[in-house]
C-alpha cells in the first residue's frame, strides 16, 4: 500500500462546477500538506500549503486537512477550462526532514 493514496480520475466537470479532490495517507507523522497543479509536460506549481488540521482558502481554492481521519481535500469553486490539469497532493514531516511524499495525481478536465 502506498503512503499517499489519490484517485487518479479522470474527473470531468462542466465550467462553473465545484471540483472536489482528495487524498488519504497512512503516515501519522505528516504535518505539512500541499496541493500542486501540473500541466502536461510541465513542472508542478504550488497551489496551497497548510500546516496540521483545518481549512485554508485562497481565492477559488479551499484546502482542508483532517489529521484524525488522515484525509485532505482541495475544492475549486467556479471552475474554468484553464483549471484543466493534474492535481497532486503532497505531504511532509519534520521527522523526514520535509521531503515530499506525493499522491499519483488526479487529472481534471473542465468542459467549456
Partner 1 sequence: DTGVSQDPRHKITKRGQNVTFRCDPISEHNRLYWYRQTLGQGPEFLTYFQNEAQLEKSRLLSDRFSAERPKGSFSTLEIQRTEQGDSAMYLCASSLPGPYEQYFGPGTRLTVT
Cα–Cα distance measured from residue 5 to residue 7, given in angstroms and rounded to the nearest whole number? 7
Given the complex with partner 1, which of 15 and 42 has the nearer CB atom?
A: 42
* Distance in Å, CB of 55 to partner 1, minimum: 18
- Residue 99 CA, chain-centre distance (Å), reads 17
Q: According to CB under 8 A, which residues from 48 to 87 bind partner 1?
A: 49, 51
Cell of 55: 481549512
Is omega for the bond preceding 74 within 30 degrees of 0, making it cis? no
CA distance 7 to 58: 23
Q: How far is the CB of 3 from partner 1 (least distance, A)?
A: 11
Minimum separation from the CB atom of position 112 to partner 1 (A): 25
Least separation, in Å, of the C-beta of 31 and partner 1? Answer: 7
Q: How far apart, in whole angstroms, are the C-alpha atoms of residue 112 and residue 108? A: 13
* Residue 99: strand, helix, or coil: coil
Q: Is 94 in the site for partner 1 (CB under 8 A)?
A: yes
Interface ranges with partner 1 (CB under 8 A):
4, 6, 8, 31-32, 34, 36, 41-46, 49, 51, 88, 90, 92, 94, 97-105
Amino acid at each position: 500500500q502506498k503512503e499517499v493514496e489519490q484517485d487518479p480520475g479522470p474527473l470531468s466537470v462542466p465550467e462553473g462546477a465545484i471540483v472536489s479532490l482528495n487524498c488519504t495517507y497512512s503516515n501519522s507523522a505528516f504535518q505539512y500538506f500541499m496541493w500542486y497543479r501540473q500541466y502536461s509536460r510541465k513542472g508542478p506549481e504550488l497551489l496551497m500549503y497548510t500546516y496540521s488540521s483545518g481549512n485554508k482558502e485562497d481565492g477559488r481554492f479551499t484546502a482542508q486537512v483532517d489529521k484524525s481521519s488522515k484525509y485532505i481535500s482541495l475544492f475549486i469553486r467556479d471552475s474554468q477550462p484553464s483549471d484543466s490539469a493534474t492535481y497532486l497532493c503532497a505531504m511532509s514531516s519534520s521527522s523526514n526532514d520535509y521531503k515530499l511524499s506525493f499522491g499519483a495525481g488526479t487529472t481534471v478536465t473542465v468542459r467549456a
